[in-house]
């Protein structure tokens, strides 16, 4: 039996090999298709990709890769292949992540060329959207204690209002606390009985900070005072705090004020990390870069400086406007910065190259700016609020949404996280606007979940304390934190050579100053011209002076002619022959 079965298998193999056509008979070979990571389904079930999946993967494709055919070294070929495989796997993972983002952002679109989205009023938008979103467009009248500064929590569930005349309120702005969406409700309110210049939430809705008349105060979620940070109790030199910013991943509360001192306070330990003197005068404009934790300060001389708690000098100093900086903001990715000056210009900058991209003219200087989760830019100037869409990569032709604050002046504005809502604090209270497409529809519950329970919030606070980043990690490029400088000496030489080349280029471009100090006057120049002219009168005067000089020398030598001065080469001169007497 084994022999017969083996012969049968051998015969079948021979017949199949004889029946197989030759490569020449099959014709030219078809080109190879893309790798397996581009052909298999992104769902990971082993099936082939559908047309929709290919279109989804095409959005993350990085173009044609590098070919390893012409590489001479075998190691280089392997390196190229591994790199291309990693790029393809990253594209596939990005396409797979879209399965976890079922919600897509919608935007407001005009039907014809004569129709503009900026002409739609909030009442028209409320009639066009769903009932839950329509209830988020409202006005709160607080006309006695304004103007108001505002702050949203990281999950967007709580709103903090701080009036200039001491009124502080914690508001459930969308009614989620009461269970009735769209019905705002004031949870707690406190009258400080002194000036409140700025307010800011800390890690979550359990604590917030308020910059008051003389000191900086920390309160809990109900408005009960927890700490009073007096300057003369180890918290730096006395100054009036104007602006506050909180770094969530570092647990640092940054403050700046009229004294021009930038201070970092560690909220978890209550210790002042550093107190930096900017030496640029009073400062009332400050925003944090959420990507790297660097603070952006706007000054009265039109410059914007970037600061880190690790250095007492600015990391970058940019001249942005001809006048004082009125407001600035940085987008969520840390790539773009928008600035507004008292010169009436609104500029968009590329933070990676520190160069301006676009500029706009506003009727009045914008008092506050903010970027949304999806890159929309909002500006409030006077009683007008304007929102620009797609204004970073290209220049926007006009505002996307515009709103008029009737009879009041805007003070501050912020986009609500994960919502198509823009909150504006003004002199008569608070205004909530609907801006379609502003918020990120898909959120990460491990980062900031809008539907967190009390237990989840407590656990996330413990995890955040364990994963707290030290202040030394705040730098321009946070990707260099886990890198090692292999040869620091060569790197130092490169930096010195680049610095010398930059200084030489700057020195070559400078024009030499004419430090004449009166020597270039007309009279002086005419006298210089006369000194270069040799006339007969001047020649006689020079001869006369020469004869007088010779007479003085002869008189000094006792009537004998003066001997010529001895030179070292006189030793080689031929000696005079002596005549012998006969």
**Local confidence band at 10 (pLDDT 50, 70, 90 cut-offs):** very low
The structural domain count of the chain equals: 2
Same domain, 221 and 291: yes
Bridging pattern class, strands 421-426 and 285-288: unpaired
Asked whether residue 19 carries a pLDDT value surpassing 80, the answer given is no
Residue 514 resides in a domain: no
Same domain, 220 and 124: yes
The answer to which of 128-132, 167-171, 479-483 has the lowest mean pLDDT is 479-483
Residue 572 resides in a domain: no
Q: Are 421 and 432 in contact (CB under 8 A)?
A: yes
Q: Are 315 and 294 in contact (CB under 8 A)?
A: yes
What mean pLDDT do residues 310-339 have? Answer: 94
Asked whether residue 54 carries a pLDDT value surpassing 70, the answer given is yes
**Local confidence band at 414 (pLDDT 50, 70, 90 cut-offs):** very high
Same domain, 97 and 122: no
- Region label for 375, one of left (φ > 0), alpha (ψ between -120 and 50) or beta (otherwise): left
Out of 10-24, 230-244, 313-327, 437-451, give the one with best mean pLDDT: 313-327
Which distant-in-sequence residues (6+ apart) come within 8 Å of 135 by Cβ? 174, 175, 181, 182, 183
Whole-angstrom CA distances from 262 to 250, 253, 348, 427 are 16, 10, 25, 28
Same domain, 354 and 423: yes
Quick one: how many helices (H) and strands (E) in the chain? 12, 28
* pLDDT above 70: percentage of residues in the chain: 82
- For residue 482, the SS3 value is coil
Asked whether residue 343 carries a pLDDT value surpassing 80, the answer given is yes
Helices (H), 157-276: none
Residue 23 resides in a domain: no
Asked whether residue 11 carries a pLDDT value surpassing 80, the answer given is no
Token pair belonging to 247 = 């770094």
Q: List the Cα angle 180/185/188 in 5-degree steps.
A: 140
pLDDT at 42: 52
Task: Tell me, rounded to whole angstroms, the distance of Cα 426 from its chain centroid.
Answer: 27
Same domain, 185 and 280: yes
Give 284's Cβ-side CA count (13 Å radius).
13
C-alpha to C-alpha distance for 86 and 507, rounded to whole angstroms: 47
pLDDT at 320: 95
Pick the closest to residue 340 from 319, 321, 312, 363 (CA basis).
Answer: 321
Which distant-in-sequence residues (6+ apart) come within 8 Å of 180 by Cβ? none
Residue 271 resides in a domain: yes
Same domain, 52 and 200: no
Whole-angstrom CA distances from 339 to 307, 353, 384, 404 are 17, 16, 17, 22
Same domain, 128 and 184: yes
Asked whether residue 245 carries a pLDDT value surpassing 80, the answer given is yes
**Local confidence band at 540 (pLDDT 50, 70, 90 cut-offs):** confident
pLDDT at 441: 85
Residue 222 resides in a domain: yes
Same domain, 89 and 167: no
Query: Could you tell me which residues are beta bridge partners of residue 148?
Result: 163
The predicted-structure confidence for 365-385, as pLDDT tens digits, reads as follows: 999 999 999 999 999 999 999
Residue 153 resides in a domain: yes
Which distant-in-sequence residues (6+ apart) come within 8 Å of 475 by Cβ? 292, 294, 308, 310, 315, 481
pLDDT at 188: 94
pLDDT at 563: 62
**Local confidence band at 16 (pLDDT 50, 70, 90 cut-offs):** very low
Asked whether residue 66 carries a pLDDT value surpassing 60, the answer given is yes
**Residue 310 phi/psi, 5° resolution?**
-90, -10
Q: Are 202 and 245 in contact (CB under 8 A)?
A: no
pLDDT at 516: 61
Q: Are 478 and 292 in contact (CB under 8 A)?
A: yes
DSSP 355: E
Residue 580 resides in a domain: no
pLDDT at 99: 67
What mean pLDDT do residues 131-155 have? Answer: 91
Token pair belonging to 418 = 């994960």
Which CATH number is 312's domain given?
2.130.10.10
Same domain, 42 and 148: no
Give the H/E segment covering residue 377. Answer: strand 377-381
Same domain, 63 and 177: no
Average pLDDT over the chain, rounded to whole? 83
Greater model confidence, 131 or 26: 131
pLDDT at 30: 44
**Local confidence band at 171 (pLDDT 50, 70, 90 cut-offs):** very high
pLDDT at 111: 83
pLDDT at 202: 94
Same domain, 86 and 150: no
Asked whether residue 513 carries a pLDDT value surpassing 90, the answer given is no
Q: Are 527 and 518 in contact (CB under 8 A)?
A: no
Asked whether residue 22 carries a pLDDT value surpassing 50, the answer given is no
Q: List the Cα angle 361/367/372 in 5-degree steps.
A: 85
Whole-angstrom CA distances from 135 to 104, 125, 412 are 21, 11, 22
pLDDT at 35: 45
Asked whether residue 349 carries a pLDDT value surpassing 80, the answer given is yes
Pick the closest to residue 241 from 224, 226, 228, 222 (CA basis).
Answer: 228
Residue 575 resides in a domain: no
349 CB burial (10 A radius; 0-12, 13-18, 19+): buried
- Region label for 377, one of left (φ > 0), alpha (ψ between -120 and 50) or beta (otherwise): beta
pLDDT at 31: 43
- For residue 54, the SS3 value is helix
Same domain, 54 and 122: no
**Residue 168 phi/psi, 5° resolution?**
-125, 130
Greater model confidence, 28 or 47: 47
The predicted-structure confidence for 548-557, as pLDDT tens digits, reads as follows: 988 888 888 7
Domain containing 49 equals 33-68+80-102
Q: List the Cα angle 431/253/427 in 5-degree steps.
A: 25
pLDDT at 488: 76
């Amino acid at each position: 039996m084994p022999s017969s079965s083996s012969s049968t298998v051998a015969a079948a193999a021979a017949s199949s090999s004889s029946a197989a056509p030759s490569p020449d008979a099959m014709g030219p070979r078809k080109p190879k298709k893309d790798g397996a990571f581009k052909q298999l389904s992104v769902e990971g079930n082993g099936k082939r990709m559908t047309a929709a999946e290919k279109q989804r993967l095409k959005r993350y494709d990085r173009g044609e890769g590098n070919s390893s055919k012409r590489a001479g070294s075998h190691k280089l070929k392997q390196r190229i292949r591994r790199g291309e495989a990693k790029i393809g796997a990253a594209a596939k993972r990005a396409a797979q992540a879209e399965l976890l983002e079922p919600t897509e952002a919608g935007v407001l679109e005009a039907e014809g060329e004569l129709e503009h989205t900026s002409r739609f009023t909030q009442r028209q938008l409320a009639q066009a959207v769903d009932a839950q979103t329509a209830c988020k467009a409202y006005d709160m009248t607080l006309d006695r204690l304004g103007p108001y500064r505002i702050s949203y929590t990281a999950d967007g569930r709580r709103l903090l209002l701080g009036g200039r005349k001491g009124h502080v309120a914690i508001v459930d702005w969308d009614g989620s606390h009461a269970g009735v969406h769209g019905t705002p409700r004031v949870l707690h309110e406190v009258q400080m009985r002194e000036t409140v210049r700025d307010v800011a939430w800390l890690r979550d809705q359990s604590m917030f900070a308020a910059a008051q008349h003389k000191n900086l105060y920390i309160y809990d979620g109900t408005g009960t005072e927890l700490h009073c940070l007096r300057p003369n109790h180890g918290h730096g030199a006395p100054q009036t705090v104007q602006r506050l910013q909180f770094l969530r991943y570092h647990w640092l509360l940054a403050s700046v004020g009229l004294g021009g001192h930038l201070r970092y306070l560690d909220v978890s330990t209550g210790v002042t990390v550093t107190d930096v003197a900017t030496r640029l005068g009073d400062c009332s404009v400050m925003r944090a870069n959420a990507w790297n934790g660097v603070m952006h300060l706007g000054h009265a001389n039109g410059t914007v400086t970037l600061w880190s708690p690790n250095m007492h000098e600015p990391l970058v100093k940019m001249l942005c406007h001809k006048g004082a900086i009125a407001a600035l903001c940085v987008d969520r990715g840390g790539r773009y910065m928008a600035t507004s000056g008292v010169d009436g210009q609104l500029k968009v900058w590329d933070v990676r190259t520190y160069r301006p991209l676009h500029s706009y003219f506003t009727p009045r200087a914008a008092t506050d700016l903010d970027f949304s989760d999806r890159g929309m830019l909002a500006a409030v100037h006077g009683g007008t609020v304007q929102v620009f869409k797609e204004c970073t990569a290209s220049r926007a032709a006009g505002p996307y949404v515009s709103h008029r604050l009737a009879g009041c002046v805007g003070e501050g504005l912020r986009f609500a996280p994960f919502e198509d809502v823009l909150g504006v604090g003004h002199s008569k209270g608070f205004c909530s606007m609907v801006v379609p497409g502003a918020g990120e529809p898909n959120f990460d519950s491990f980062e900031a979940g809008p539907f967190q329970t009390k237990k989840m919030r407590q656990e996330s606070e413990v995890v955040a304390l364990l994963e707290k980043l030290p202040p030394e990690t705040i730098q321009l490029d946070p990707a260099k934190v886990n890198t090692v400088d292999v040869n620091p000496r060569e790197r130092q030489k490169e930096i010195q050579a680049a610095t010398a080349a930059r200084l030489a280029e700057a020195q070559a471009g400078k024009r030499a100053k004419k430090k004449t100090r009166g020597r270039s006057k007309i009279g002086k120049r005419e006298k210089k011209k006369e000194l270069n002219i040799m006339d007969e009168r001047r020649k006689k005067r020079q001869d006369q002076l020469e004869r007088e000089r010779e007479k003085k020398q002869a008189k000094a030598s006792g009537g004998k002619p003066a001997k010529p001065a001895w030179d070292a080469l006189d030793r080689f001169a031929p000696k005079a022959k002596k005549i012998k007497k006969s």
